[in-house]
Amino acid sequence: MTTTSGVTPGVQGITETDIANYLANTPGFFERHAELLSSVQLTSPHGQRAVSLQERQMEMLRDRIKGLEMRIVEMIRNSQENVAIADRLHRWTRALLLTAEPAALPAVLVGDLKHQFLIPQAAIRLWGIDTAHAERPFAAAVSDDAKSFADSLTQPYCGINAGFEPVGWLDEAAGVMSVALIPLRHGNACFGLLVLGSPDPTRYSAEMGTEFLVRIGEVASAALSRLLRA
């Protein structure tokens, strides 16, 4: 029995810390006094019943094993999700590589991206492209402000729809609550913007990682560079 000060009655000056340090630094103590181990009674963390030291250790080990099992399950789940994402990205990239007509690339890129990744809405606009494609929907007019904004993005923007002009390129812009804006670059020059929209305000959040969207932008930029002016 100890007092609230942690001092053992009858042994003035010796604290629980002193005792703990002594036992930790004297491994032979319990070998010489093995009978103490069987007499120690502790409170079980799974109830108020008293259990032996050995049983308490077993319960602690079971809890630790359960925690490790949960971590393994989570790792397996994340691994499976990553494999699925990689597989979708592969199929999307393959569709771009199989598109022989450069002018068909934007439609294939957007359509297959929506299909593979279940994206509710997506649109793309390009500028600085060959005049042969000037009448295509993807070459529709874009304001200088929108071009400057796209050029200023050092990484994809993810967050709520704050009334960005590019959101207006989507078919049902009024219902878009969150967006991802992905700049398209050739070298250091920005020549387009890919817009992904969702009615779910949490689909694209400022806290989400952008590594995957960066890869989408890199692949899209490489494919669409065939449309640029020579």
Task: Say which CATH number the domain at 150 has.
Answer: 3.30.450.40
User: Is 25 inside any structural domain?
Assistant: no
Return phi, psi of residue 33, to 5°: -130, 55
User: Is 116 inside any structural domain?
Assistant: yes
Q: What is the pLDDT of residues 4-59, one digit of tens each?
A: 444 444 456 788 888 888 878 887 776 787 666 666 666 666 666 665 666 767 77
Number of domains in the chain: 1
Return phi, psi of residue 154, to 5°: -85, -15
User: Is 208 inside any structural domain?
Assistant: yes
User: Is 157 inside any structural domain?
Assistant: yes
User: Is 52 inside any structural domain?
Assistant: no
CA-closest candidate to residue 110, choices 220, 228, 225: 220
Question: Which residues on adjacent β-strands are paired with residue 189?
Answer: 186
Containing structural domain, residue 221: 99-227
Lowest mean pLDDT among 38-47, 92-101, 130-139: 38-47
CA-closest candidate to residue 201, choices 173, 177, 175: 177
Q: What average pLDDT does range 77-106 have in this prediction?
A: 92
CA-closest candidate to residue 212, choices 89, 95, 115, 100: 89
Question: Which residues on adjacent β-strands are paired with residue 122?
Answer: 196
User: Is 9 inside any structural domain?
Assistant: no
pLDDT at 1: 44
User: Is 49 inside any structural domain?
Assistant: no
Q: What average pLDDT does range 111-134 have in this prediction?
A: 95
CA atoms within 13 A on the CB side of 185: 18
pLDDT at 194: 98
User: Is 174 inside any structural domain?
Assistant: yes
Residue 197 has pLDDT above 90, yes or no: yes
